[in-house]
Amino acid sequence: MGYDRGRPMNSKLALASTLLVVSTSGVTVASAQVAPPTWRYHHGLTVEAGIGIGSFRGSDVPALRGGQQGLAGPDLGVGWFINRRLALGLRVSGVYHRAATGDFLSESFAGPSAQVWLTPYAWLGAGAGVGMAYDGGRAFGFALDGRIGLVFNRNTRHSINAALELSPTFAGDNIYTGFALVAGYQLL
């Protein structure tokens, strides 16, 4: 089926093509306006809280080699926006699991953290501090924390977001690594 120059064009097709020409020529037939991204809330005090699901493993701990799933959080943070794209603060986060034996296993992070906003709705976070792992005995060490997050609501000081977080703790000869998917709230 091709276009036949001798036959008149179908009326529905003609109407659709006319609307397309009119709408692309600057005349708006019907459109929904989307609010532009804004940085106006990125100043001063910022507070965050989150909870989710996670997994952690220990490099030389037989019970943790395959990873253990558990609760992520509560993750808590408080900080200050240095400028519209950078907030500095203190954070605590972790992944917790109660084994079938009743033992409580965990990997956690506490320390300073930076949050870099790529857009008003996407950010990266990084920190370095103290990590603690508990696998029947406590192990403390140097810890890193990395996050990537997306904000779901627009143009408000009260941000609802989701973040992926990775936090390894280097304790002696072991590396305990926590990974989490966290649903969070942040006061911007």
Is residue 152 one of the residues assigned to a domain? Answer: yes
What is the per-residue pLDDT across 6-52, written as a single tens digit (0 to 9) for each?
555 555 555 455 444 444 445 444 455 555 667 888 899 999 999 99
Write out the DSSP string of 18-53: HHHHHHHTT--SS----PPP--TT-SEEEEEEEEEE
Is residue 16 one of the residues assigned to a domain? Answer: no
Q: Which of 66-70, 101-105, 119-123, 143-147 ranks highest by mean pLDDT?
A: 143-147
Is residue 53 one of the residues assigned to a domain? Answer: yes
90: containing domain? 44-187
pLDDT score for 41: 86
| Element (DSSP H or E) covering residue 134 | strand 122-134
- The DSSP bridge partners found for residue 57 are 177
- Per DSSP, the three-state class of 63 is helix
Number of domains in the chain: 1
pLDDT score for 137: 79
User: Within 10 Å of residue 162's Cβ, how many Cβ atoms?
Assistant: 15
What is the per-residue pLDDT across 63-90, written as a single tens digit (0 to 9) for each?
555 567 889 989 999 999 999 999 999 9
pLDDT score for 79: 98
Q: Which of 18-27, 149-158, 161-170 ranks highest by mean pLDDT?
A: 161-170
Is residue 29 one of the residues assigned to a domain? Answer: no
pLDDT score for 102: 75
CATH classification at residue 75: 2.40.160.20
Is residue 17 one of the residues assigned to a domain? Answer: no
Is residue 20 one of the residues assigned to a domain? Answer: no
Is residue 19 one of the residues assigned to a domain? Answer: no
Is residue 179 one of the residues assigned to a domain? Answer: yes
Model confidence, pTM:
0.75
